[in-house]
Structure 1
Amino acid sequence: MSVLKQWGKQVIGYPEVQVPVISTKDYVQRFAHNPAGKTKSYLFSLFPILGWITRYNLGWLTGDVIAGLTVGMVLVPQGMSYAQIASLPAEYGLYSSFVGVLIYCFFATSKDVSIGPVAVMSLTVSHVIAHVQDSHGDRWDGPQIATTLSFICGFIVLGVGLLRLGWLVEFIPAPAVSGFMTGSAISIAAGQVPALMGISGVNTRAETYRVIINTLKGLPRTKMDAAFGLPALVALYGIRMLCDHLTKRFPRRQRIFFFASVFRNAFVIIVLTIASWLYTRHRRSAAGKYPIKILQEVPSGFRHVKQPEIDPELLTALAGQLPIATIILLLEHIAISKSFGRLNGYKINPNQELIAIGVTNTIGSVFGAYPATGSFSRSALKSKSGVRTPAAGILTAVVVVVALYGLTDAFFWIPSAALSAVIIHAVADLVASPSQVFSYWRVSPLEFVIWLAAVLVTIFSSIENGIYVAVCASLALLLIRIAHPRGAFLGKVRVRLDNNKETRDVYVPLKTNGVNNEHLDILPPAPGVIVYRFEESYLYPNCSHLNSTLVDYVKENTRRGKDISTVKLADRQWNDPGPRRGQHDLAALNQSLPILHAVVMDFSSISQIDTTAIQSLIDARNEIERWTDGPVEFHFATILSPWIRRALVAGGFGVGTSERLHHEIAPVVPYRDGRSSDANYEETTDDLESGKDLKRVDSASSVPGHEPVLATETPFFHLDLHAAVRAAERSQAVVDSSS
C-alpha cells in the first residue's frame, strides 16, 4: 500500500479514497442491509429494561428504595395540588402519579426522570377543559375531557416515537423552552395566590397580568385561609434555607439535612392538616360549609378504572388544543431527560423517551389519569436521593397506592391554601435565574429576545400563545441563519511549527464581519485566484446567497474580460449598461484589476447539497465566465461526502472548465429546441450511476512513485485546501507564462 493512500485512509479518514463515486445501488444497499437484524434490534430497543434488569443487585436496590420512597413522599401532596390547577378532583392527580412512575420504568432510558402531574401541563389541561365547556356547555365533565386528552396526546407521542421522529424536538432551542417555562411558572404562581389568601371572585384563568391586578384589588377580601397558606409558604422556604445553611456549616451531615429538606412538603401538609382538623371540625355551618376551604372527600382506591370513552364529537372539540398539549408533553420530558443525562453521565434515547410517555399516557387513560410528563423538581430530587435504576418508580408507585387506600380519610382536612403554598413553592424553581438569562444574552442576543418574548407573551396573553411564539420565533431564526449563513474569502497566514524550523500555511478570512484582520499578516492568494469557504450545508434556502456573494465579489475585485466602454450602447445588455463612453477613470480602474483565472471553494463545512444548489452554482459559473469573457477553473477542496462529489460531477464540475455555459440541471421550463446533447456529460452521468471505479489521482498533491489518490476524471477535486490553492496558482502561473 502506498504511503499517500495510507495517509488518506488513516490520518484524515477521507471517505472517497475507497469509494471515488457512488451509485444508486450503494444507496439502496445501505438501507436494505441485514433487515432481520435491524428489526430484532428495533424490537429489543423498545424495552430498555431488558438490558439492565438481569444485572440488578442489592447495591442498586438500596439507592432505588431510598429514592423511590423519597419521591413518593413528595409526589402525593404535589399530585393532589396539581389536580387543583387542572380543575379536577384531587384523586385524579394521584391516578396520574401512580401510572406515570409505574409504567415509565419499563420503557425508560433515564434513571432520574419522574413522570407524573406537572404544573404547566395541569394548567394547560385546565385551559382545555374551560375551552371545551365554554364552547359546548356541560356536555362533557372535566375528568372525561382530561382522560380523552391523555389518550389522544399519548397516542400521538407514541406514534412520533415509534416512527423515530424525536429529532423534531431538536428544532426548539433551550432559551425558547426556558422562556416558556418561566412565563408559565409566573402564571401558575399568580393563579394560586387568591387560593393562598382566601380571596374569592378572581378569575384565575384570565391573562396573568389581569390575575395579578385583580388579586391586588381583592386583598381587602382576604379570609382565614391566609392564616394557613402564608405560614405554609414561609415554612417551606424557611426549612429549605435552614437546611442549606446547616449543610454548608456541617458538611459531614449533609445527607441528614438533605432528607430533612426533602420532607418539608409532607411535614407542612401534615402539620397544617392537623391544625385544620382542630380548627374546622366543630365549625361546620348548617349549609355544610367550613370556615376555610379544605379538600374534603377524596375517594379511596381506583374508582374510575375502565375503558376510556372516546367520543368523536369530543375529539372534534379538542382538535384545536391538541398541538399545544402534545408540544408540552414533548418539550418538558425531552428537556428534563437530556439535562439529567448530561448531569449524570449517560445518554438518553429521545425516541424511546417519547415511546415511554406515549405508553404512559395511553395506559393512564384506563385509570382515569390526565396527561403526565417529566417533572423538573421531582426528577432533581430523585437524582439527589441516589437513584440507581428506573425501578425506583415501582417504590414510588407503592407509596401512591398506600396513600390512595389508607390515607384518604386524612386528606379530607387538608387546607387548600396549604396545597397552593406547595404549588407556588414548586413552580418558583422553574423561573430562570438572572445569571441564566444573562448567559443567553452573552451567547446569543437574538435568543435572549426569543426568551423575553416567550415570557412576556405568556404573561400578557396565554401559555398557548407563549409557546407558539417561542417555537415560531426559533424556527424563523433557524431559517434566517440557514438562508444567510456565514462565509468568507480566504487568505493564508504562514505560521511556524513547534520546532520553530518548519512552517505551514493556514487559511483564515481576509475580513471578519466586514472588518480587516489587521492584527494578522494575511497573504492574499495569487492575483486571479479567489478562495471562498462556505460555512453551512449548500441547500436551496441559501444557494442564492452564495451565488450573489461570489458573483458580486468577482465583479468588484477582478477585471472585466471585455472592455464594455468600447461596445456600442445598442449592443449592451439592458441590465448591464457598464460605464459610458469617455469615462476613462472607470476603464483604468478595471484594467488595474487582475483577470480571474480560478475559484477555489472550501467544502469542508458542507455536509449536504441539493439540486437547486447545483443549479445555482452552475448559474454562478456562467455569470462569472460572462464577466471574464473566458473560462474560469472551479476547484473544490475537502469534499467529505461521495454524494456531494456525485452531485458536482453531475453539474459539470470537477472535470475541468465547462464550455456548456447554458446548461441547466434543473430547468423550470425544459426548452429543448435547437439544443444538442452533450456526449461527455452523458458519459459522466452514466459512470456515476453505474458506480464505475475511476482511476485515482490528485493533480495537486500526487507524489511521484506512489499510487494516486483521487480520480483522474476529476482533477479539480482536491484532498485539502492547500492542495487546491496550489493547483489553482500553478495553473495561473502557466497561463501567465504562456501569455
Structure 2
Amino acid sequence: MASNQIQYDNDDEQQPLIVDHTNSSEVKTMGSIHISEKLKEIGRNICTKETLKKKLPIIKWLPNYNLNALQCDIIGGLTVGLTVIPQGLAYAKIAGLPPQYGLYSSFMGCFVYCFLGTSKDITLGPTAIMSLMTGTFAISPVPNDATYAIVLTLMCGIIQLIMGLLNLGIIVNFISYPVINAFTSAAAITIAFGQVKHIFGLSNIPRDFLPMVYHTFAELGKTKIWDMILGFSCLVLLYFIKKLRNINWGDSKAEELTIGQKVSRKFLWLFGTGANAVVVIAGAGIAASLISMNITDKLTITGHLHAGLPPFQPPAFSLKSKNITQSAGDIFTKIGVGFGIVPLLGLVETIAIGKAFARQNRYKIDPTQELIAIGVANIFSCFVSSYPVTGSFSRTAVNSQSGVKTPASGIFTGALILLALQVLTPLFYYIPDAALGAVIISAVLQMVDWKVLKILWKIDRLDLFPLIVTFLSSLVIGIEYGILVGIGISIIMILYPLARPKLNYNYQPGIIIVQPDKGINFPAAEYISDTIVLKATSGGKRRSVIFDFSHISNLDYTAVLAIEELMVDLKQHKLEVVLCHISASVLKVIQRAEIPNLRLYSTIAEATDEMYVKDESEPTEDEESQPLIGHV
C-alpha cells in the first residue's frame, strides 16, 4: 500500500474535505436562525412536566402517598428527632457556638429536603465534620457570636446551588475513596479527642490536634472526679443500650409472635435507637438532683440557653461589639478557603451517604438534584441562625432502620425540634458537658475505618500512600489542610500516568516500533518525543521509528508539534518517522496539521515492508556503517 493512503470500511471516512463558499451574510442569518431555534427548544424542554418532576421530586411521590407511608414516616421522623436533639446540642460545642445553635441548624434542612430531595432516607442537619469545619473557619472574635457561621452557611448554600445548576457534582469523582476515608477517620479522631476534656472536666484546652493532645495529658491532674465518673458511665451505657436495636431474636416467623412480644421488642428497639436521648436525660436528671441539694460544684453543666425559636432574619454581613467592628470584607477574608472546602465536604458527605443507602434499599438518587437540595437547604437555614448542614450518616441510618417510605419524615423531625426549642429549652440548662461529650465520642468513633488498610494492602498498595499522607496531614497540620493535601495527591495520581505513559518497544533490524499505552496529550508530548529520540539513537545503533497509534484516540496541538519535533530530531541523525494504525478522528487532526513529509500506513507490516524496500532502493556510499533503513 502506498504511503498517505489509508482505507476504512466506513465510506464516510473516504469523503474529501469540502470548503463551502456560501455568502457570509447568509451564513450569519442561518446561524442566528439556528441559535434562535435552539434556544426555543431548550425553553420548551425546561417548561415540561418531566423537568418539573425532576426539579421538585415531591410531585412524584405525593400523589401516591397513603396512610401506611404516613405511619412509617411519623415513626422514622420522631425517632430521628430524638437522636438529633442531643447530637445537635453536642455538635454546636464543636462548632464553637452555644448549644442552641445545634438545634437551630436541625429543622430547616429537614423541611426543605422534603420538597427537593431524591433520597427517602437522608436527613439534613448538623454533623460532626461540618461542626468541626465551622469551628475551624468561622469562629467569631466575639464570644458566643454566630455571625461568621451564618455567613458561611449562606455562601455554602449559594456555591452548592450553583454547582448543582451547572451539574458539577462530578467534582466528587476526583477525590479518591482512600482520601475521603483518611479525612473522615482523622476528623473523627480529632473530634473524639476534643471531647476528652469534657469527660475529665478540663478547661482551656487548645483546638488544634497536637497541642490538644499535649495539654490534655498535661492537665490530667486537674480532673474533676464527678465529671469523669459520669462521662465514662455514659460511654458504657451508650455502648450497651445501642446494642438493643440490633438484637437477633432468632425467630423464623414474625407472624407467630404475640402482641406483647411485638410491642416489647419494638420498645427495646426504640429504646436502643434513642440511646443518646436516654443518656442525656439521665445525666440531666442527676445534675438537677445535685443542684436541688445545693451541690453545684461537682458537675460541669451546659448552663443557660437562649429560650424559644430563632428569629427569622437575613445574615448580618458586619460585626459590631464594644471593642470590635468588622465589615463584610473582614469576615470574608477571615473565612477564606472555607468557602471552598466546606461546600465541597458537604457535597461529598451527602452524595456518599445518599448513594450508600440508595444501593442498600434498591432505589436511585439524582446527585445533581441532591446538590440543589442541600444548597437551597443551607440558603434557607441561614435565615434561622444555622451553621452549615449536610446529610448525617448516623441519623440517616436510624431513619432507614425505622422503615421510612418518603422524605416526608423530615417534617416530623423538624416539628419535634421546633417543639423542643419552644418548650424544653429551660431544661437544657441541666445537661452535663460530660454526657454531651460521651454522645459525640460514641457517634464519631464509628467513622474511623481501620479495615480499609487491610483491604488496600490486598488490592492496591499504592492507594495506601494518599490514605496515610492525608490521615497524617489532617492530624499534624490541620483538618482543613489535610483534605487539600489529599485532593492534591489524588489529582497528581490521576495526571501522572497521562504525563508519563508507558511506551512499549519492539526492536527489529534498523527499526524500532513504539506503541504508547495511552493517548498523547500536552503533558506527555515532550516526554514521548525525547524518549523516542533517545531510544532510536542510543547504544551505538541508529533506528528509524514506526509510531504505532493503536491506543491513541485523540491528539492535541502540543502533541502535533511534538511529532514534528521528533521528525526533525531524527532527520538530523538521517533517520525517519512513520505512523500507522491511525484512527479516523486522529487522522483528521493530522491532515489538518499538514505535517510535511509525514508518511502514514495502515499496519505495522506495511510500514516495515515499505521501509525495507526504500532501504534497498537507496543504498548509501558506506552501506555497512548505515542502518538498514534509508534516511529521508
* 1:157-236 paired onto structure 2 within 5 Å: 157-199=160-202, 201-205=203-207, 207-223=208-224, 224-236=226-238
Matches within 5 A, 1:567-646: 586=540, 596=544, 598-603=546-551, 606=553, 608-627=554-573, 629-630=575-576, 632-638=577-583, 642=585, 644-646=586-588
Preserved CA contact (<8 Å) 2:119 2:358: yes
The secondary structure found in structure 2 opposite 1:89 is coil
- Does the 8 Å CA contact 1:300/1:408 hold for their aligned counterparts? yes
CA distance in 1, matches of 2:607, 2:580: 7
Contact kept, 8 Å, 1:529 with 1:600, in 2: the verdict is no
Matches within 5 A, 1:547-562: 547-555=529-537
Alignment correspondent of 2:324: none
Counterpart of 2:467 in structure 1 is 451
Aligned length: 577
Distance 2:525 2:128 in 1: 45
Q: Secondary structure at the match of 2:515?
A: strand
Q: Report the alpha carbon displacement of residue 370 of structure 1 after superposing the two structures with TM.
A: 1.0
Q: How is 1:258-269 mapped onto 2 (pairs within 5 angstroms)?
A: 259-269=270-280
2: CA distance between counterparts of 1:454 and 1:15? 53
Residues 92 and 98 of structure 2 are in contact (CA less than 8 Å); yes or no, is this contact kept in structure 1?
yes
Gap change, CA 1:15 and 1:382, over 3 Å in 2: farther
1:13-34 Cα deviation digits (max 9, x unpaired): x897799989999x99899583
Letter paired with 1:213: Y
1:274, distance to aligned residue in structure 2 (A): 2.2
1:87-486 matches, cutoff 5 A: 87-130=96-139, 132-133=140-141, 138=142, 142-199=145-202, 201-205=203-207, 207-223=208-224, 224-241=226-243, 244=246, 246-247=247-248, 256=266, 259-283=270-294, 291-311=298-318, 312=328, 313-433=330-450, 435-486=451-502
Q: Is the contact between residue 104 and residue 310 of structure 2 (CA under 8 Å) also seen in structure 1? A: no
Residues 645, 43 of structure 1: CA spacing in aligned structure 2 closer, same or farther, 3 A cutoff?
farther
Aligned to 1:521: none
| Contact map agreement 1:243 1:261 (CA 8 A) in 2 | yes
SS of the residue aligned with 1:602?
coil
TM-score (ref. length: structure 1): 0.70
The separation in 2 between residues aligned to 1:89 and 1:614, in whole angstroms, is 62
1:328-363 deviation digits (Å, cap 9, x = unpaired) = 323323333333344444444333322222211111
**Aligned to 1:88, what secondary structure does the other structure show?**
coil
For structure 2, which runs of at least 5 residues remain unmatched after alignment?
A: 1-7, 21-26, 255-261, 319-327, 619-632
CA distance in 1, matches of 2:435, 2:393: 21
Counterpart contact for 2:137–2:334, Cα < 8 Å: no
1:659 aligns with 2:597: yes
Structure 1 residues 164 and 552, CA, compared in 2 at 3 Å: closer, same or farther? Answer: same
> Distance between the aligned counterparts of 2:44 and 2:281, measured in 1?
55
Distance 1:660 1:529, change over 3 A: closer
Report the identity percentage.
31
RMSD over aligned CA atoms reads 3.7
* Structure 1 spans left out of the alignment, 5+ residues: 1-7, 491-523, 558-585, 662-714, 719-723
Question: Deviation at 1:424?
Answer: 0.4
Contact 2:119–2:407, Cα closer than 8 Å, also in 1: yes
User: Which structure has the higher relative contact order (CA within 8 Å, separation 6+)?
Assistant: 2
Question: CA offset at residue 437 of structure 1?
Answer: 2.0
Q: Give me the whole-angstrom Cα distance separating, in 2, the residues matched to 1:617 and 1:60.
A: 65
Deviation at 1:527, TM superposition (A): 8.0
Change (3 A) 1:259 1:549: farther
Q: Which amino acid aligns with 1:603?
A: H
Which amino acid in structure 1 is aligned with residue 415 of structure 2?
A: V
Post-superposition shift, 1:393? 1.7
Q: Deviation at 1:294?
A: 2.1
Q: What secondary structure is seen at the aligned counterpart in 2 of 1:64?
A: helix
- The residue identity in structure 1 corresponding to 2:313 is K
* Matched letter for residue 100 of structure 1: G
1:531-546 to 2 correspondences below 5 Å: 532-535=515-518, 537-546=519-528
Q: Give 1:616 deviation, angstroms.
A: 1.4
AA aligned opposite 2:502 = R
With over 3 angstroms needed to count, the CA separation of the structure-2 counterparts of 1:544 and 1:294, relative to structure 1, is same
**1:542 aligns to what SS in structure 2?**
helix
Task: For 1:627 and 1:153, locate their aligned partners in 2 and report how far apart those are by CA, in whole Å.
Answer: 60
Structure (1 or 2) with the greater helix fraction: 2
Q: Quick one: structure 1 residues 614 and 379, their matched pair in 2 at CA, closer, same or farther if it must change by over 3 Å?
A: farther
Deviation per CA, 1:464-495: give whole Å up to 9, x if none.
222222222323333323312334347xxxxx
Q: 1:158 to 1:16 in 2, by over 3 A?
A: farther
Change in 2 beyond 3 A, CA 1:194/1:105: same
Inter-CA distance 622–259: structure 2 relative to 1 (3 Å threshold): farther
